[in-house]
Amino acid sequence: MTREYLKKATLTAKSDASEVHETVKSILADIEAGGDDKALEYAARFDGYEGAILLNDDDIAAACAQVPDKLKADIDFAHDNVRRFAETQKATVSDVQLEIVPGLIAGQKAIPVDAVGCYVPGGRYSHVASAIMTVTTAKVAGCRHITACSPPRPGVGIAPAIVYAAQRAGADKILAMGGVQGIASMTFGLFGLPRANILVGPGNQFVAEAKRILYGRVGIDMIAGPTDSLILADGGADPEIVATDLVSQAEHGYNSPVWLVTDNRSLAEEVMTLVPALIDDLPEVNRDNAFAAWRDYAEVILCADREEMAATSDAYAPEHLTVQAADLDWWLDRLTCYGSLFLGEETTVSYGDKAAGTNHVLPTSGAASYTGGLSVHKYMKIVTWQRATREGSKPVAQATARIARLEGMEGHARAADVRLAKYFPGENFDLSADG
């Protein structure tokens, strides 16, 4: 490989690994032991909020009334796109059955989980889109109960647009609680909620650590790190659009890596020249994040050709992967490791983040090398079943008995023996391990 780093990151996502485990573990233990009252204590301490914890119909209606009609229409548009894409995904999973041998039928059944907890960030940014992405897909999957949980702001509560998006997407309950206490409340079934079977949605490092600790007791979508994005661009790409797209993702957080991989030095150099001014032009609340992310975590990599570019991208396994290069079909066929792929200048990660229909809850920190993002399938258990006639069970019982004895598992073998003896009295079977 002949990669040349025109800009090299000085830090990685792991460089900022905070010592939050013990803090989160302690809070979870306190809330599990203390129940509703202890969760309320932490809400008052961390959220600075003492209003309604579970929103009733009047609370929801009042919040929705504050949302401008134009914004409601945009949320409805995004929800419809996400819903229709999730419905298409769901159609790819069906109940099936197969006669394995004559008289033995095995099947697959897709069963939605019962109760879902959807965490919707609402601190620095009001993540309206996260409510749409997480709740809508759970609703399409057929989950019986969906709780949307979002941090309230002191004296205000949950951002009205998040409330509108959550109820529009189909949330059964909306919980005004942030951070670890919100995750704990959904997991432990506080405030009259059902215990969540799965927790989904992005969040800060405390939310991510709470999900990590609870995983096993409850399912999770994934263990998420800082969001990351990679752009593959050739000499035909527009430097301003490439630079703008990099900055748009860097604003997520001070430790959100963005990477440019190209085979054109002139493009790379122009993009590096453009980025600082684009960051300076952002509002102050966004500027600091983007500046730190570009300074400490961003990389610009020059490759020899498109094959080396693709190999570099697959090695990084980015959460978001954009291709602004010729022959998009080649890239679609060649690339294998990404959370979500954006082909051509006419689309952008921002579309996927907000309204295009694909889900924005995606694997980070290289996890795209082995998993995809949140989808309707995450809420569904693919289970199997079998049924047999006595004749159908005969060859399976014989094979089972012999394999089990070879493994030294006599109890398993006898479960087959007893059936053969009952169903086929008088027949002699050679069920020893050596056949």
Active centre residues (catalytic): 319-320
What SS3 class is residue 247?
Answer: helix
Give dist(CA 154, CA 149) in Å, integer. 16
Helices (H), 251-327: 265-280, 284-296, 306-316
Give dist(CA 333, CA 330) in Å, integer. 5
What SS3 class is residue 172?
Answer: coil
Give dist(CA 178, CA 157) in Å, integer. 11
What's the distance, CA 119 to chain centroid? Answer: 11
Distances (CA, A) of 54 to 59, 136, 148: 9, 20, 10
Between the two ends of the chain, the Cα-to-Cα distance in Å is 54
Q: What angle do CA 278, 203, 34 make, to 5 degrees?
A: 150
CB atoms within 10 A of CB 227: 26
For residue 148, the surrounding DSSP H or E stretch is strand 145-150
* Paired sense of beta strands 299-302 and 4-7, if any: antiparallel
The number of residues in the chain equals 435
SS3 content of the chain, % helix, strand, coil (to 5): 50, 15, 35
Secondary structure letter of residue 376 according to DSSP: G
Distances (CA, A) of 160 to 60, 71, 153, 165: 8, 11, 11, 9
Rounded to the nearest 10 degrees, the angle between the axes of helix 265-280 and helix 239-250 is 50
Residue pair 308/3 in contact (Cβ under 8 Å)? The answer is yes
Secondary structure letter of residue 103 according to DSSP: T
For 119, phi and psi rounded to 5 degrees?
A: -90, 130
